[in-house]
Amino acid sequence: MKERMLTMVFVLSAFVHLMAQNPAGNALLFDGVDDHVDCGNDASLNNFSALTMEAWISSGTFANSRIISKWGMASGYEVDIVTGGIYDRSIRFSLNQTTYAYYSLAGFENQWLHLAATWDGSWARIYVNGNEVASGFFSGTLTNSSNKLHIGRMASLAPSTFDGTIDEVRVWNRARTQTAIRATMNDTLNSDYYATADSGLVGYWRFDIVNENVTPDLTNNDNDGTLSGASSTESGAPLPVELLSFNGYADGTQVILEWQTATETNNYGFEIERYTDSGWLTVGFISGGGTVEQERHYDFSDHVEIEQSQINYRLKQINTDGSFVYSNVLVVLGSIPEEFHLAQNYPNPFNPSTNITYYVSERADVYLGIFNTKGHKIKTLVNKSQSAGSYSVNWNGLDNSGKQMASGYYFYRIVVTNSTAVIYTSTKGMLLLK
């Protein structure tokens, strides 16, 4: 592999609004004492040769607690949070009462996170906000647990109750890929996923509906959840500042952060925070645009010695009245893409917006645009020199003049050039539905 000056890149989290956006609607608030949801022990929740568990969570404490638990003695499956020791405030993925993957959630307090835990019969993996963060090997047989599946705590163990908010819980009888997880994590699932068993979805609790302490399982398996104390609360409501993209890469002794907003309302500015052993540290401030309806671009350079395998950043968006919200945590990772690549957009089909991710293996001039079926250019998303890294941009369905495009099939194309020639090009299709 040829040597490169750049040492680290960032894989962009895939959210449209500045605060982590679980699908809009309601979520369940758990009190950390005895709240939980009992989803039963139907056959559809057992007999797995592969598995995926997904949920959105938000907590201010990350105390020792269960998120999704069908735990038993030397049996079952579970995603929980542990405290103390070297794994303090870590997400833990266990099969047959044995842990196969951990990942620290320190620094993620008080913001929405998407968690996914998958097992393909050989490897157990944890994903946070669509990024694989931990894995472990398990090629044995997953033994059925006689306990019921619980959300928010372990069966019959109140001290394990989650303290915070949980939303969009999904259980699948197959291992979803990173691409599949990213494609659906920001949206509610439609009936194509839960009307039949073909997708592998065996339990889906959206929490938008609670009727007499029952929250329905939207699959045909009728694993309806019985609530004990957990209360309904609003989840992903849109915020005054709409973030289109948030990128970062490391270059020598500095990390370059870039972000773009679609609209801003009373935006005083952004504090840039980096996570350290002592917690979040403010490393800079960029003034906002106040109230604007056009796109704005921001960048910031953090001069820091790059020694660790990853560096975490977040934006603190401050309004003119002093109120503020945090972005998702941006993770600068320690590997460089080995080749140029244009990924399939997600979600697809989409309404009203979609994310397009691409990978740059060396500094080059990058053009990314949207075209209609006649080949006419609709929108230019990227047209500049970029360093090696992983990037994601959002298309909100508007053309270059700000006109909303009609439902239909569109193409997006990337062209990468160096000083002498085109070195990579790729075109993919996507479907806008109204």
- Per-residue pLDDT of 12-61, as tens digits, reads 333 323 333 455 568 898 988 888 999 999 999 999 999 999 999 989 88
131-137 vs 75-82, strand pairing mode: unpaired
Q: Among residues 14, 21, 10, which one has the least CA distance to residue 325?
A: 21
Peptide bond into 216 cis (omega under 30): no
pLDDT tier for residue 309 given thresholds of 50, 70 and 90: low
293: left (phi over 0), alpha (psi -120 to 50) or beta: alpha
Which region among 47-51, 112-116, 147-151 has the lowest average model confidence (pLDDT)?
112-116
For residue 10, what pLDDT is reported? Answer: 32
Q: Which residues pair with 234 in a beta bridge?
A: 26
Report all structural domains of the chain as residue ranges with CATH numbers, in order of start. 8-16+239-333 (2.60.40.10), 26-234 (2.60.120.200), 341-432 (2.60.40.4070)
Angle at 15 between CA 8 and CA 400, to 5 degrees: 95
Burial of 402 (0-12, 13-18, 19+ CB in 10 A): exposed
For residue 241, what pLDDT is reported? Answer: 81
Cβ atoms of 215 and 205 within 8 Å: the answer is: yes
Instruction: Please give the backbone phi and psi of residue 95, each rounded to the nearest 5 degrees, phi first.
Output: -130, 135
For residue 49, what pLDDT is reported? Answer: 95
**Residue 223: C-alpha distances to residues 39, 219, 407 (Å):** 6, 8, 36
More confidently predicted of 244 and 101: 101
Beta carbons within 8 Å of 104's beta carbon, 6+ residues apart: 87, 88, 89, 90, 91
Beta carbons within 8 Å of 402's beta carbon, 6+ residues apart: none
Q: What is the CA radius of gyration of the chain?
A: 22
More confidently predicted of 97 and 326: 97
Angle at 132 between CA 127 and CA 135, to 5 degrees: 90
* pLDDT for residue 8 is more than 60: no
Q: Which residues pair with 99 in a beta bridge?
A: 94
Instruction: Report how far Cα 56 is from the mean position of its chain's Cα atoms.
Output: 9
Beta carbons within 8 Å of 251's beta carbon, 6+ residues apart: 5, 6, 387
For the stretch 260-292, pLDDT in tens is 888 898 899 999 998 887 888 999 999 999 988
Cβ atoms of 63 and 32 within 8 Å: the answer is: yes
Task: Give the mean model confidence (pLDDT) for residues 89-106.
Answer: 92
For residue 150, what pLDDT is reported? Answer: 95
In 131-241, the DSSP E strands lie at 131-137, 150-151, 163-172, 201-205, 214-215, 225-228, 231-234
Structure-block tokens of residue 432: 């806008």
CA distance 355 to 66: 31
341-342 vs 324-326, strand pairing mode: unpaired
User: Whole-number mean pLDDT of the chain?
Assistant: 84
Task: Give the mean model confidence (pLDDT) for residues 415-419.
Answer: 93
More confidently predicted of 38 and 4: 38
CA distance 232 to 46: 28
Helix (H, G, I), strand (E, B) or coil at 288: strand
Q: For the chain, how far is it from start to end, CA to CA, in angstroms?
A: 46
* pLDDT for residue 9 is more than 50: no
Q: Among residues 188, 364, 170, 330, which one has the least CA distance to residue 249?
A: 330
CA distance 265 to 98: 49
Query: Amino acid identity of 387?
Result: S
- What's the pTM value of the predicted model, to 2 decimals? 0.57
More confidently predicted of 327 and 428: 428
Which region among 123-132, 367-376, 388-397 has the lowest average model confidence (pLDDT)?
388-397
pLDDT tier for residue 157 given thresholds of 50, 70 and 90: low
Cβ atoms of 31 and 368 within 8 Å: the answer is: no
For residue 233, what pLDDT is reported? Answer: 67
Burial of 337 (0-12, 13-18, 19+ CB in 10 A): middle
Burial of 217 (0-12, 13-18, 19+ CB in 10 A): buried
pLDDT tier for residue 137 given thresholds of 50, 70 and 90: very high
Percent of the chain clearing pLDDT 90 (strictly above): 43
For the stretch 184-243, pLDDT in tens is 887 788 887 877 777 899 999 988 877 778 999 999 999 999 998 777 765 654 456 877
pLDDT tier for residue 370 given thresholds of 50, 70 and 90: very high
Q: What is the DSSP letter of 34?
A: S
Cβ atoms of 256 and 248 within 8 Å: the answer is: yes
Instruction: Report how far Cα 368 is from the mean position of its chain's Cα atoms.
Output: 23
Edge-to-edge strand order for the sheet containing 36-38? 98-104, 90-95, 75-82, 65-72, 150-151, 36-38, 225-228, 214-215
